[in-house]
Amino acid sequence: MALPGAAPPPLTVLTSVRAALARASRRPPLPAAAALRLQLSAGPAPAAQRRFRLELRHDGAAGGAPIAEYDLKDVVYKVQGPRSHELLVLGAWDEPLLLSFEEEREAQKWWTIVSSSLREVQKAFESALAAEALPPPAGANPIPEDQGPKEALTMELREKEDLALHLTQAIEFGDEEEASRCAMALARHQASLSILLRDSAYPPEHIRMKVGVEDATSSASITLLVRAHTTIAALKEQVFREYGFHPRVQRWIIGQCLCLDERSVFSYGIRRDGDPAFLYLLSARAAELTPQRLEEDQAQLRLHSPLPAGSTAPGKGCGNEAGGKMDIGDIGRYLDSLQLGDTLGAQAKPPSPSPPSPEQSGWPCPQCTFINKPTRPGCEMCSGARPEDYVVPSAHRPDERERRRLQREQEEMRQYQQALEAERLQNLEQLLQLEQELLVPNREALECLICFQRVPPGEGVLLRECLHSFCRECLRQVIAFSEEPSVACPYRDDSYACSSHLQEREIRALVSPDEYRRFLERSLVLAERRSHNSFHCRTPDCRGWCIYEDSVNEFRCPVCQALNCLLCKAIHEGKNCRQYQDDLELRARNDAAARQTSAMLQTLVQRGDAMHCPTCLIVVQKKDGCDWIRCAVCQTEICWVTKGPRWGPAGPGDTSGGCRCNVNGQKCHPQCQNCH
């Protein structure tokens, strides 16, 4: 506490920077483009806080004389651009100063420090307001008004310790309400805490952890004795104490994870003796480690944990790996000579007389910086992908270990291909076996989409074409009531109807023989009904029928063996059409059936569906096709549309008579199809 009349403690200059005014200012009176130096200082303040001052000075060319000085809590500072800032002092200036910096890097550095100081000032201001506005937390002892700042700080720290202790006890005993109250009280105090599990929460056994150590040029294998609760930060200190590698150069990788200092080795999977870990050692330049910092930390380490001369640290063990790996002593010497020396220059330690190891060829992992063999497709430590633009050097010759790995990968790929081929053959055999089956049963329980009943495995049917599944009884009913010769899949929903059909073998396997026979009969009837040129046998109750062509005039029924005349649409074996029609006219006088047949023929002639042959006068009919027909009795070629002979008296090719179709490009009749 300063005595009355004593001078305040001196301020420490945090940073200063040159700037120029972008425009003239009235308060303070400065011309445009005036060269200024901005200076930020800090000094102690009550309640363990700091006070910040911002000072404007003339640049060195003007003698560096001060212009004005302000408390940082009264300053409003804004960034207008990469090299343009704005400064305003509340209650002192009417308008802000526009500052211009020569270099963007200097402007960024100045803003970083000023913004950090402004945040600290704002935080102190808010803490003061909260202390005035909020009542003291429950269980806290009131601070007497007559106590000084030191006594008040002591009581506040004591109160924070009590609250932290109560918080740990409440969490340990599961008292959520008390833990919440203590946490809220600590939050009001803005206490800085570090919450960690106690060592008793971890397994108590020691673990001998196997560690692979590498730097940019060499590698080794060591064993460290750790506990489950050992944090990565403590592990770095242990390696620093036992082997001399500074924590800054250590990068730990456990379980393909880049480890954080706050986490324990147990959280990364270190459970038992022999569990692996990897330690990569950065260069001093990459870790920004200076010789002064290294010497200070080494002196601090010797001060707190001295070791007798010639003693060995507990847990320290070192063994060379197979394949010409360096021991840990070589790593230490090379780290000193090749890594610290490249940064510290002449101040570095002289390199040891041991010959350097040959430079390792390979690609560095972009994630963990591990140097991998050129032929490795991924990082050996963290499984990161190899850079796409990396090309294996043509002069690279794999060592024995790498050759064994490549051979192992080739063997594993061969075994994978064999397993894949065996799986393909097995699938093919299963498909061939299912193809021989009439029905494909369901392998899993399902709900029939027709009757909504549960169908156990093997009692349903999986349709081959669409893979929809139903119970057998529902599919049998669908086949029995189908009005189509091809049975469609019955799957339907609000937006989709399956267009696939049941296969013939599926239909035959789902129904009984009688049901299948009736299904075929229905299919035949539908096929005959829908065929345009079908003819049913004229024998009573015969089921025979045919689909005829235009050049065929007779049809022998395969069922009753009767010979049907397609022209007369009757059966008159032993007679030609003329004889049958003449006999039909004679019988029509006494036979009602003959009269009906004769009347039918006359009706066909009157409707134009039949005609009399122009030569022999029998009734002929065109079944289908083009307009050219031939009389079955006299073999006269007839034009159907003109109802006359096709050719003249000289026969085929004589266009002097007949219908004269296509003579001079003219059709013989407007309805001629131009096909004779």
List active site positions: 626
DSSP 577-614: HHHHHHHHHHHTTT-HHHHHHHHHHHHHHHHTS-EE-T
Q: Show the tokens assigned to 197.
A: 């599990």
* Contact partners, residue 529, CB within 8 Å, separation at least 6: none
- Per the listing, tokens 């009984």 go with 512
Bridge partner residues of 534 (DSSP): 547
**Helices 291-304 and 232-243, interaxial angle, to 10°?**
90
Give CA–CA dist 449/452, Å, rounded. Answer: 5
Task: Enumerate the H helices of 492-539 as residue ranges.
Answer: 504-510, 513-530
SS3 654: coil
DSSP secondary structure code for residue 144 in this structure: P
Residue 254: left (phi > 0), alpha (psi -120 to 50), or beta?
A: beta
Query: What is the 3 state secondary structure string of 319-386?
Result: ECCCCCCCCHHHHHHHHHHHHHHHHHHHHCCCCCCCCCCCCCCCEECCCCCCEECCCCCECCCCCCEC
Q: Is 451 within 8 Å of 474 (Cβ atoms)?
A: yes
Which of 636, 656, 647 has the alpha carbon at shortest distance from 676?
647
Give CA–CA dist 515/511, Å, rounded. Answer: 6
Bridge partner residues of 251 (DSSP): 280
If you count DSSP H runs as helices and E runs as strands, how many of each does the chain have, helices first?
Answer: 14, 28
Q: Is 326 within 8 Å of 220 (Cβ atoms)?
A: yes
Give CA–CA dist 665/647, Å, rounded. Answer: 16
DSSP secondary structure code for residue 61 in this structure: G
Give CA–CA dist 45/332, Å, rounded. Answer: 47
CA distances 522 to 481, 499, 518, 525, 628, Å, are: 10, 21, 6, 5, 36
**Helices 472-480 and 513-530, interaxial angle, to 10°?**
40
DSSP secondary structure code for residue 497 in this structure: B
Q: Is 208 within 8 Å of 223 (Cβ atoms)?
A: yes
What H or E segment, with its residue span, contains residue 303?
helix 291-304
Within 10 Å of residue 288's Cβ, how many Cβ atoms? Answer: 11
SS3 31: coil
Burial status of residue 19 (CB atoms within 10 A of its CB: 0-12, 13-18, 19 or more): buried
Per 3-state DSSP, what percentage of the chain is helix, strand, and coil (rounded to 5)? 35, 20, 45
Query: What is the 3 state secondary structure string of 117-141?
Result: HHHHHHHHHHHHHHHHHCCCCCCCC
